[in-house]
Protein backbone atom coordinates (compact mmCIF):
# COMPACT_ATOMS: atom_id res chain seq x y z
CA UNK A 1 0.00 0.00 0.00
CA UNK A 2 1.11 3.55 -0.76
CA UNK A 3 -0.17 6.86 0.51
CA UNK A 4 -1.12 9.91 -1.54
CA UNK A 5 -2.21 13.18 0.03
CA UNK A 6 -4.61 15.78 -1.22
CA UNK A 7 -3.55 19.20 0.00
CA UNK A 8 -6.19 21.90 0.47
CA UNK A 9 -5.01 25.51 0.42
CA UNK A 10 -6.91 27.78 2.80
CA UNK A 11 -5.81 31.23 1.77
CA UNK A 12 -7.14 33.74 -0.74
CA UNK A 13 -4.39 35.62 -2.55
CA UNK A 14 -5.54 35.95 -6.14
CA UNK A 15 -8.61 37.40 -7.81
CA UNK A 16 -9.92 33.95 -8.81
CA UNK A 17 -9.32 32.45 -5.37
CA UNK A 18 -11.33 35.30 -3.85
CA UNK A 19 -14.19 34.55 -6.27
CA UNK A 20 -14.02 30.85 -5.39
CA UNK A 21 -14.08 31.64 -1.68
CA UNK A 22 -17.01 34.05 -2.10
CA UNK A 23 -19.07 31.44 -3.94
CA UNK A 24 -18.13 28.56 -1.65
CA UNK A 25 -18.96 30.42 1.57
CA UNK A 26 -22.56 30.66 0.35
CA UNK A 27 -22.75 26.90 -0.39
CA UNK A 28 -20.60 25.12 2.20
CA UNK A 29 -19.90 25.32 5.92
CA UNK A 30 -16.94 27.53 6.85
CA UNK A 31 -14.91 24.39 7.58
CA UNK A 32 -14.86 23.68 3.81
CA UNK A 33 -15.48 27.07 2.19
CA UNK A 34 -12.01 28.30 3.16
CA UNK A 35 -10.30 25.99 0.63
CA UNK A 36 -9.43 27.72 -2.65
CA UNK A 37 -6.86 25.36 -4.19
CA UNK A 38 -6.01 21.65 -4.21
CA UNK A 39 -2.82 19.68 -4.85
CA UNK A 40 -2.01 16.00 -5.14
CA UNK A 41 1.09 15.16 -3.09
CA UNK A 42 3.20 12.09 -3.76
CA UNK A 43 6.77 11.55 -2.62
CA UNK A 44 8.01 15.08 -2.06
CA UNK A 45 6.32 16.43 -5.18
CA UNK A 46 2.97 18.08 -5.77
CA UNK A 47 0.77 17.81 -8.84
CA UNK A 48 -2.02 20.18 -9.78
CA UNK A 49 -3.23 22.73 -12.25
CA UNK A 50 -2.12 26.09 -10.97
CA UNK A 51 -3.50 29.52 -11.67
CA UNK A 52 -0.15 31.07 -10.72
CA UNK A 53 1.87 28.72 -12.96
CA UNK A 54 -0.70 28.71 -15.79
CA UNK A 55 -0.66 24.94 -16.43
CA UNK A 56 -0.64 21.53 -14.84
CA UNK A 57 2.72 20.84 -13.28
CA UNK A 58 4.71 18.80 -10.80
CA UNK A 59 6.84 20.77 -8.35
CA UNK A 60 8.02 20.87 -4.77
CA UNK A 61 5.97 23.02 -2.42
CA UNK A 62 6.82 24.12 1.09
CA UNK A 63 3.57 23.31 2.90
CA UNK A 64 3.15 25.76 5.78
CA UNK A 65 0.71 24.17 8.22
CA UNK A 66 -1.20 27.40 8.79
CA UNK A 67 -2.13 27.55 5.06
CA UNK A 68 -2.82 23.88 4.25
CA UNK A 69 -4.92 20.93 5.37
CA UNK A 70 -4.54 17.38 4.05
CA UNK A 71 -6.46 14.20 3.40
CA UNK A 72 -4.43 11.00 3.16
CA UNK A 73 -5.57 8.20 0.86
CA UNK A 74 -4.12 4.70 0.93
CA UNK A 75 -3.87 3.00 -2.46
CA UNK A 76 -2.69 -0.32 -3.75
CA UNK A 77 0.66 -0.23 -5.55
CA UNK A 78 -1.17 -0.76 -8.84
CA UNK A 79 -3.59 2.15 -8.33
CA UNK A 80 -0.71 4.33 -7.14
CA UNK A 81 1.19 3.60 -10.38
CA UNK A 82 -1.95 4.30 -12.43
CA UNK A 83 -2.34 7.69 -10.77
CA UNK A 84 1.32 8.51 -11.20
CA UNK A 85 1.08 7.76 -14.93
CA UNK A 86 -2.16 9.72 -15.16
CA UNK A 87 -0.46 12.77 -13.59
CA UNK A 88 2.58 12.48 -15.85
CA UNK A 89 0.31 12.36 -18.91
CA UNK A 90 -1.37 15.61 -17.83
CA UNK A 91 1.75 17.71 -17.17
CA UNK A 92 1.91 20.97 -19.17
CA UNK A 93 -1.82 21.04 -19.91
CA UNK A 94 -3.18 24.57 -19.82
CA UNK A 95 -4.82 26.04 -16.73
CA UNK A 96 -8.30 26.97 -17.82
CA UNK A 97 -8.98 30.48 -16.56
CA UNK A 98 -12.43 30.74 -18.07
CA UNK A 99 -13.64 27.52 -16.44
CA UNK A 100 -13.37 29.18 -13.06
CA UNK A 101 -15.81 31.78 -14.29
CA UNK A 102 -18.12 29.70 -16.48
CA UNK A 103 -18.15 26.29 -14.76
CA UNK A 104 -17.45 27.28 -11.17
CA UNK A 105 -19.30 30.57 -10.98
CA UNK A 106 -22.11 30.26 -13.53
CA UNK A 107 -22.36 26.43 -13.62
CA UNK A 108 -22.09 26.26 -17.43
CA UNK A 109 -20.90 23.00 -18.93
CA UNK A 110 -18.10 24.29 -21.15
CA UNK A 111 -15.14 21.89 -21.09
CA UNK A 112 -12.26 22.45 -23.51
CA UNK A 113 -9.96 19.51 -24.27
CA UNK A 114 -6.65 19.31 -22.39
CA UNK A 115 -7.39 22.22 -20.06
CA UNK A 116 -7.85 21.94 -16.30
CA UNK A 117 -8.25 23.79 -13.06
CA UNK A 118 -7.04 22.41 -9.72
CA UNK A 119 -10.08 20.69 -8.23
CA UNK A 120 -11.09 19.31 -11.63
CA UNK A 121 -7.74 17.56 -12.20
CA UNK A 122 -7.64 16.32 -8.59
CA UNK A 123 -11.15 14.90 -8.95
CA UNK A 124 -10.16 13.19 -12.21
CA UNK A 125 -7.18 11.47 -10.58
CA UNK A 126 -9.40 10.38 -7.68
CA UNK A 127 -11.72 8.84 -10.26
CA UNK A 128 -8.72 6.95 -11.66
CA UNK A 129 -8.50 5.38 -8.18
CA UNK A 130 -12.26 4.62 -8.24
CA UNK A 131 -13.05 7.36 -5.70
CA UNK A 132 -15.84 9.93 -6.29
CA UNK A 133 -16.78 8.31 -9.60
CA UNK A 134 -20.32 9.71 -9.57
CA UNK A 135 -19.12 13.32 -9.46
CA UNK A 136 -18.69 15.63 -12.46
CA UNK A 137 -15.08 16.83 -12.16
CA UNK A 138 -15.86 19.98 -14.14
CA UNK A 139 -18.15 21.33 -11.43
CA UNK A 140 -16.22 20.26 -8.32
CA UNK A 141 -14.83 23.10 -6.26
CA UNK A 142 -12.09 22.68 -3.64
CA UNK A 143 -14.65 22.91 -0.80
CA UNK A 144 -16.88 20.28 -2.38
CA UNK A 145 -13.93 17.98 -3.02
CA UNK A 146 -12.99 18.09 0.66
CA UNK A 147 -16.62 17.76 1.77
CA UNK A 148 -17.26 14.71 -0.42
CA UNK A 149 -14.04 13.01 0.68
CA UNK A 150 -14.99 13.47 4.31
CA UNK A 151 -18.36 11.90 3.53
CA UNK A 152 -16.40 8.92 2.14
CA UNK A 153 -14.70 8.62 5.58
CA UNK A 154 -11.40 10.28 4.73
CA UNK A 155 -10.17 12.57 7.51
CA UNK A 156 -8.74 16.07 7.28
CA UNK A 157 -5.40 16.70 9.03
CA UNK A 158 -3.02 19.62 9.09
The per-residue pLDDT for 100 is 66
H helices within the chain, ranges in order?
15-27, 30-33, 77-90, 97-99, 118-128, 142-151
Mean pLDDT of the chain: 87
pLDDT at 14: 74
Q: How far is CA 76 from CA 60, 115, 138, 145, 146, in A?
A: 24, 28, 26, 21, 22
* Per-residue pLDDT tens over the stretch 18-61: 777 877 888 888 889 999 899 999 888 999 988 788 889 999 99
Fold of 2-157: endopeptidase fold (from Nostoc punctiforme) (3.90.1720)
CA of residue 5 relative to chain centroid, distance: 11
CB 151 within 8 Å of CB 131 = no
pLDDT for 111? 67
Q: Are 73 and 154 in contact (CB under 8 A)?
A: yes
Residue extents of the structural domains in the chain: 2-157
Amino acid sequence: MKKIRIAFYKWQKTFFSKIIYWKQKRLFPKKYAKYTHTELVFWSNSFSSSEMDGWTRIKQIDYKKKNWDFIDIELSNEKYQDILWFCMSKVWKEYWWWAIFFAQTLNFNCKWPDTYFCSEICCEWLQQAKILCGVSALFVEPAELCFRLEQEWYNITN
